[in-house]
Amino acid sequence: QQESQLRKPRLIPELESDSDRVVKLFWNIRDLPYGWDFFMENVADPAHVPVSHHGIMGSRYEDAKYYDMPGLREISTQEGFSFAINPTVEKVAEAIHDFQPPCHLRIVTNYNDGGKLILALYAIPTRPGWCRHIGCQVLVKNEAGKTPEGLGFFALPMPIWLGHVLASVFLHQDLVFLHYQEKILARRQQQDWLKTVYTPNPQDKMVITFRQWFKTRAGGKIPWDSGINDQLPNAELDKKQLFDVWSTHTKDCVVCQKALTNINRAVVISYGAAALCLLIGIVMDARAVAFKMAMTTDAVTISPFKVIPPTGFWLGIAGAIILATIGYSFKRLSRLFYVYEFEHSKND
């Protein structure tokens, strides 16, 4: 414990500076149903991005390409290791994945125009089969003041709560693979990871290095407290449980709790206003029918169904439909605070 207190925390240097070129986007925290080592392995593997995140970060049919990952510094117990991607896409000058033990992986994309994107990804083990992810994007403007591209649509201006909710769209694409992958490998009871999986490509270099570092430099397993059962939980087959957002984020997020309260309030107001518009439209129509019949000498022969409704009736009906649609949309949005199910077979 004393040794750990002497270690400096893994900070993001750009956020410690006072430069007006640095733009920090929102932080996001999420409990994920797979282990810390599987999280780190995943983010150390850039090859997974266009495949797992098809539709958000490229196409699994067009963007899954061959590249090399040359090492940039020697593996170290305390300082980790880093790898570059070669070649990069045309607009990128340099792309670096830097693992900084025990909890931080920093992904830096340097653009040709001088801008920079930093994905600051943290993860800590919380219990067997679970980890807590904490992350944000940092954008560094170039000399001309141009802000670089961020990660997908997550760099667009949006309220923090919306960024938190939409994070499920991205995180759940990985989740379904990593949750079952961890359980399948554990079932094989093979102690040597390299003998369990097949990793023949240069894209696998950083993943292999991470697993070697974990085995030879960090003990190969999480040192859980003696009072904790270190057995992995069973694979989750219930999609609502697997893709749960409420328990893994919303219930502990003040920003999302407040947003959910406001959205639920908007649902009630929208439905209430829709009912009021409908009532007003009906009253306007009834008054028009009554007035028409009163002004007609032969009222007995006039059917109320033949009286054309007034403009006020149609406005009331239109208002009711619009407000009910708004209320329904808010209701659907509120569900994202509770669960977001994802299926790769439907993402095409």
Taking the C-alpha atoms of residue 206 and residue 46, their distance in angstroms, rounded to an integer, is: 9
CB burial string 155-173: b at 16+ within 10 A, e below: beeeeebbbbbbbbbbbbb
Residue 316, number of CB atoms within 10 A of its CB: 22
Taking the C-alpha atoms of residue 178 and residue 90, their distance in angstroms, rounded to an integer, is: 31
The predicted structure's pLDDT at residue 309 = 62
The predicted structure's pLDDT at residue 302 = 55
Taking the C-alpha atoms of residue 116 and residue 109, their distance in angstroms, rounded to an integer, is: 6
Structural tokens at position 114? 């001088």
The predicted structure's pLDDT at residue 192 = 80
Indicate the residue type of 95: A
Domain map (residue ranges) of the chain: 2-237, 260-346
Taking the C-alpha atoms of residue 309 and residue 285, their distance in angstroms, rounded to an integer, is: 5
pTM as predicted: 0.88
φ, ψ dihedrals at 71, nearest 5°: -75, 145
Taking the C-alpha atoms of residue 156 and residue 248, their distance in angstroms, rounded to an integer, is: 24
The predicted structure's pLDDT at residue 66 = 87
The predicted structure's pLDDT at residue 300 = 54
CB 123 within 8 A of CB 103: yes
Residue 222, number of CB atoms within 10 A of its CB: 17
The predicted structure's pLDDT at residue 287 = 56
Question: DSSP letter string over 174-195?
Answer: HHHHHHHHHHHHHHHT-S-HHH
Helix (H, G, I), strand (E, B) or coil at 146: coil
Indicate the residue type of 17: S
By DSSP bridging, strand 80-84 and strand 92-100 are antiparallel
Strand partners, 71: 83
Taking the C-alpha atoms of residue 186 and residue 250, their distance in angstroms, rounded to an integer, is: 30
pLDDT of the chain along its 348 residues, tens only? 677 778 888 999 999 888 899 999 999 999 999 999 999 999 999 999 888 988 888 888 988 888 999 999 999 999 999 999 999 988 999 999 999 999 999 999 999 999 999 999 999 999 999 999 999 999 999 999 999 988 888 888 899 999 999 999 999 999 999 999 999 998 887 778 888 888 888 999 999 999 999 999 999 999 998 888 889 999 999 999 999 999 999 999 999 999 999 999 999 999 999 999 888 877 775 655 555 555 565 545 555 555 566 677 778 889 999 999 999 999 999 999 999 999 988 887
Burial of 292 (0-12, 13-18, 19+ CB in 10 A): middle
The predicted structure's pLDDT at residue 293 = 54
CATH code reported for the domain at 2-237: 3.90.380.10
Give 79's contacts (C-beta < 8 A, 6+ positions apart). 73, 100, 101
Taking the C-alpha atoms of residue 130 and residue 342, their distance in angstroms, rounded to an integer, is: 19
CB burial string 79-106: b at 16+ within 10 A, e below: ebbbbbbeebeeebeebebbbbbbbbbb
Indicate the residue type of 93: A
Taking the C-alpha atoms of residue 156 and residue 137, their distance in angstroms, rounded to an integer, is: 11
Q: What is the dihedral of CA 176, 182, 188, 191, to 10 degrees?
A: 160
